[in-house]
């Protein structure tokens, strides 16, 4: 049995065991842009993951160290869900966000969306998902849900986490109810797009650049990268288990999306797409510099991992020197991009 949902594309299938919506399981690198891509393609809006990331002004940096995180955290993007809000404003999307402290109400909100033929985005703690490969608490993970039955929920996640996956409804409830850093109160959301969404590239770029260049505290933006360059040098003294914590930090930086090259690669590719639409020397400079930055972030992650494995602090000294260079390179890139509004 096939019934048309409320979206532009896709089909809602109702059967005795549950409901599912036909969606395209296109792979992605970053969880939030992967989920946004699913929701927008269902509305007939098909943009690359890099374009979604850039239009959402997703690039940032934070050096975060507190008792709640255990070991320093290097974040390469804006805080969870800020990208979604930015993208909705940029594309003039209707963003419906629902939050509740009631697990029962939280499930009802999601089921109602799926039953109406509209996939829904969820923010949750990935630790509890049975499909998730890395058992690390991360309360800012985002997935798209497109179906459910009596036992399971059907999700679309990043390529690294399996793409089209399922998890038990029990584990999903635990993931959504989790509390701690970056978590939300059973947050779910849907997007509706205008018939012809307007893509405003320059305002998205300049807003991202201004936030990066003028951070309110020294842990953010180019100042945060500079601070990380100083503090990473003593990371061997920061942990009782460097062989565990340093390689884990490097893995998160490079592969899991908390920092490192992943978001610099996405932003480089976004700027590359923009150079095909706009003729600007400042834009081309930003594109070139972020290509340089992405490669250097990969080198930093490798040095941090090697330091943990070898216990040799010289690798962290070198990583700190490269981070100092990265602070300058990214500052120069964003200064060029900030001038787009006046060219």
pLDDT surpassing 90 at residue 252? no
Q: How far apart are CA 157 and CA 130, in angstroms?
A: 12
SS3 of 257, please?
coil
Determine the pLDDT at residue 8. Answer: 43
* DSSP state for residue 94 in the 8-state scheme: E
* 160 phi/psi in degrees, rounded to 5: -60, -30
Q: How far apart are CA 192 and CA 123, in angstroms?
A: 18
- The predicted-structure confidence for 264-320, as pLDDT tens digits, reads as follows 999 999 999 999 999 999 999 999 999 999 999 999 999 999 999 999 999 999 999
Q: Indicate left, alpha or beta for 92 from its phi (over 0: left) and psi (-120 to 50: alpha).
A: left
* DSSP state for residue 166 in the 8-state scheme: E
Determine the pLDDT at residue 160. Answer: 85
Cα 195 to chain centroid, rounded: 26
The HSE-up count of residue 13 (CA atoms within 13 Å, CB side) is: 11
Q: How many other C-beta atoms lie within 10 A of the C-beta of residue 244?
A: 12
Determine the pLDDT at residue 12. Answer: 60
In Å, what is the CA distance from 39 to each residue of 46, 99, 169?
A: 10, 18, 21
Domains of the chain, earliest start first = 2-192 (3.90.70.10), 201-342 (no CATH)
- The predicted-structure confidence for 107-158, as pLDDT tens digits, reads as follows 999 999 999 999 999 999 999 999 887 777 889 999 999 999 999 999 999 9
Tokens of 125: 């703690």
Q: How far apart are CA 219 and CA 310, in angstroms?
A: 28
Determine the pLDDT at residue 15. Answer: 53
Task: DSSP for 184-239, please give it.
Answer: -SS-EEEEE--SS----HHHHHHHHHHHHHS-SSTTBHHHHHHHHHHHGGGGGGS-
* 337 phi/psi in degrees, rounded to 5: -65, -30
Q: Indicate left, alpha or beta for 261 from its phi (over 0: left) and psi (-120 to 50: alpha).
A: alpha
CB 165 within 8 Å of CB 147 = no
What would the mean pLDDT of 315-335 be, rounded to a whole number? 98
Tokens of 246: 């340093």
């Amino acid at each position: 049995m096939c019934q048309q949902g409320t979206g532009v594309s896709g089909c809602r299938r109702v059967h005795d065991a549950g409901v599912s919506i036909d969606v395209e399981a296109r792979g992605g690198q970053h969880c939030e842009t992967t989920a946004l891509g699913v929701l927008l393609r269902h509305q007939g809006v098909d943009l690359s993951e890099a374009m979604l990331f850039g239009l959402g002004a997703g690039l940032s940096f934070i050096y975060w160290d507190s008792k709640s995180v255990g070991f320093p955290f290097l974040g390469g993007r804006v805080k969870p869900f800020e990208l979604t809000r930015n993208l909705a404003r940029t594309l003039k999307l209707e963003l419906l966000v629902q939050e509740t402290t009631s697990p029962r109400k939280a499930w009802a909100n999601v089921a109602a969306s799926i039953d109406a033929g509209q996939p829904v985005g969820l923010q949750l703690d990935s630790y509890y998902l049975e499909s998730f490969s890395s058992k690390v608490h991360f309360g800012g993970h985002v997935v798209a849900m497109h179906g459910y039955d009596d036992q399971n929920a059907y999700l679309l996640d990043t390529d690294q986490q399996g793409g089209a996956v399922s998890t038990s409804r029990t584990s999903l409830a635990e993931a959504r109810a989790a509390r701690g850093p970056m978590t939300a109160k059973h947050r779910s959301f849907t997007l509706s797009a205008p018939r012809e969404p307007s893509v405003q590239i320059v305002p998205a770029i300049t807003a991202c650049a201004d936030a990066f260049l003028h951070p309110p505290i020294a842990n953010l933006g180019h100042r945060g990268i500079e601070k990380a360059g100083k503090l990473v040098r003593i990371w061997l003294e920061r942990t009782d288990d460097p062989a565990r914590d340093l390689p884990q930090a490097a893995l998160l930086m490079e592969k899991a999306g908390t920092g490192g090259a992943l978001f610099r690669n996405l932003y480089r590719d976004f700027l590359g797409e923009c150079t095909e639409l706009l003729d600007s020397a400042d834009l081309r400079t930003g594109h070139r510099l972020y290509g340089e930055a992405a490669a250097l972030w990969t080198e930093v992650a490798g040095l941090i991992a090697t330091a943990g494995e070898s216990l040799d602090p010289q690798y962290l000294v070198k990583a700190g020197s490269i981070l100092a260079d990265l602070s300058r390179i990214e500052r120069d890139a964003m200064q060029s991009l900030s001038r787009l509004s006046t060219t």
